[in-house]
Amino acid sequence: MLESLKKNPAFTKRRGPVVLMIMDGVGIGKYAEGDAVLDSPTPFLHKLMKEQPMTLLKAHGTAVGLPSDDDMGNSEVGHNAMGCGRVFAQGAKLVTQAIETGKMFEGATWKKIVDKVNSASSTLHFIGLFSDGNVHSNIAHLKGMIEQAKKDGVKCVRIHTLLDGRDVPETSALDYIDPFEEYLKNLGEDYAIASGGGRMTITMDRYGANWDMVKQGWATHVKGEGRFFASAHEAVETLRAETKAIDQDLPAFVISRDGKTPLGAIKDNDAVIYFNFRGDRAIEISQAFDQGDEFDKFDRGAKPDVLYAGMMEYDGDLHIPNNFLVNPPEIDRTLDEYLCSSSIRQFAVSETQKYGHVTYFFNGNRSGKFDEAAEEYVEVKSDVVPFEQRPWMKCAEITDIVCDTIKEGKYDFIRLNYPNGDMVGHTGDYQAVQVSMGALDLCLKRVYDAVTAAGGVLVITADHGNADDMYEHNKDGSVKRGKDGSIKRKTSHSLNPVPCIIYDPEYKEDYAKELNTGLGISSVAATCMCLLGLVPPADYDKAVINVK
């Protein structure tokens, strides 16, 4: 346990709790057109923005540990930054460095994989998100590994593509597949794409929300079961025409050269690399490969005897997966741990889709609690339906719990995540996002009233932008349009800053109402410590308030 934080004699602790509200995917837009945060029934949020102390925080790029400021932020790195109060180099940067320096290929796991397939004359399979979104994966990492495998004498490689359309344009799959197919031709006919499907259809479930996605992925990648196509290009064109779905929602497909047998079913003595570096949507498929008879989520059939490795260790406490290629960021001394050591009672809540973010990622990629007696975590089960069909999601239920918890008076620090702006934003459905934001606004007012009655403090912020940038834009700021004149929807995160609003109904003039500017979301941790009457650690990033 860490040493407790010192109390700040210059700050008067408020009667009620400090409540940290994370409006997932709600940024401050750059363009009026396509800004569904601005163009939604959110009068209360905008009232607070005008009347309460507010500053803008950076939530992308180097401010959250990503390689460059061209990289959009995401929920994983955003919650890491908010929860640990400092910026750590994140997965994308760590993997890029490991490949560019050759460190990955000098490691024991890579050597074990190469030895396995070369000695058995078997196949090396790669499964992962097939884009350069740099949120869960990067196709450049895949190419780096494939090229090294070729140098190391691997004769047969199969790629199982999870189509994106979420961190990149919604119908951009062929922009990746077509040049990649040409790239593979230069490596030989035994280097080929073997299967695929939309990331929201197969394999990439998280937090146990829908294990059927993983079951479908297992059937597609491992068993080679599904609808056959001669090429990935043909599969995407055909399925897109039939379903009208965007990439993330396309059905699964299997490649077959003879129309009878799958090109890349996974067999005994093969090796498999899951090349996503982000952990939340990698854990379940890793469990399916790694676990033995104790696995009970679905019937895997005859499980092939393979060597499986993840790009990174996705869960450091549960040690998932058994083998991995790159060490994850080593995050320590988080806000949660410091508050536990300082006898601050904590409560965390969200629905399934973001529950792990407000707990596991917020706590520095750590499962479980730091202090069972001082903390309570509550998960509200998400609906298993397309988000545009339930755009309000579970914000009302989350709000019920938060308001009751504030009134109960048992906890000093409460944190919650509303997933609406992000999860519905990813659908590209503008009207649905407007509904989701309106629902969130009603809930914000309820939490505000509960904080007022309790004499607490409400900190409102976000982990990254999304709903604030729903249309693709040209460099001159105009909206991009297709050949038919329709607006090109944007389903990825934005590069926009996020708000940080401080509502302190019993303000005692112990800090200036003018908030600091130019900070990143890592400043949220020190800010919450200050508002709890504690002195943040010296190496934490600066708070948005200056306590007198």
**pLDDT over 90 (residue 317):** no
Tell me: do 253 and 104 sit in the same domain.
yes
Helical ranges in 322-379 per DSSP H: 335-341, 352-356
The residues carrying an active-site annotation are 75
Are 200 and 344 in the same domain? no
**Same-domain check for residues 447 and 425:** yes
Asked if the structure places residue 501 within a domain, the reply is yes
**Residue 4 domain-assigned (yes or no):** no
pLDDT at 1: 74
The verdict on 63 and 187 lying in the same domain is: no
Query: Average pLDDT for residues 186-199, to the nearest whole number?
Result: 96
Task: Write out the residue range of the structural domain in which residue 110 sits.
Answer: 92-326
Yes or no: say if 29 and 465 are a contact pair by the CB < 8 Å rule: yes
Residue 328 has pLDDT above 90, yes or no: no
How crowded is residue 349: how many other Cβ atoms within 10 Å of its Cβ?
23
Mean pLDDT of the chain: 96
Question: How sure is the predictor about 258, in pLDDT bands with cuts at 50, 70 and 90?
Answer: very high
Compute the average pLDDT of residues 162-190. Answer: 96
Q: Which residues contact 25 (CB under 8 A, 6 or more apart)?
A: 75, 419, 420, 421, 422, 423, 425, 462, 463, 464, 465, 466, 467, 493
Same domain, 172 and 200: yes
Per-residue pLDDT, 176: 98
Q: Which residues of 291-312 are buried (b: 16+ CB within 10 A; e: fewer)?
A: beeeeebeebeebbebbbbbbb
pLDDT at 548: 83
Are residues 356 and 305 located together in one domain of the fold?
no
Same-domain check for residues 397 and 516: yes
Supply the pTM of this predicted model.
0.84
pLDDT class of 522 with cuts at 50, 70, 90: very high
Per-residue pLDDT at 483:
87
Encode pLDDT of 426-477 as tens digits. Answer: 999 999 999 999 999 999 999 999 999 999 999 999 999 999 999 999 989 9
Residue 70 maps to a domain? yes
User: Mean pLDDT across the stretch 507-536?
Assistant: 97
Find the mean pLDDT for residues 155-167.
Answer: 97
* CATH code at position 160: 3.40.1450.10
- Per-residue model confidence as pLDDT tens digits over 279-312: 999 999 999 999 999 999 999 999 999 999 999 9
- Pair (456, 493) in one structural domain: yes
Q: What pLDDT is stored for residue 322 in this prediction?
A: 97
Q: How far apart are CA 306 and CA 240, in angstroms?
A: 33
**Do the domain assignments include residue 546?**
no
Based on the domain organization, do 334 and 322 belong to the same domain?
A: no
Quickly state the pLDDT bin for 167 (edges 50, 70, 90): very high
**Are 273 and 375 part of one and the same domain?**
no
Sheet holding 228-229, edge to edge: 228-229, 253-255, 191-198, 156-163, 123-129, 271-274, 307-312, 324-326
The stretch 201-208 carries a mean pLDDT of 96
Number of domains in the chain: 2
DSSP sequence for 106-136? HSHHHHHHHHHHHHHT-EEEEEEE-SS-SSS
Give me the mean pLDDT over the 495-500 stretch: 97
Higher pLDDT among residues 180 and 66, named by residue = 180
- Tell me the C-alpha distance between 435 and 387, whole Å: 11
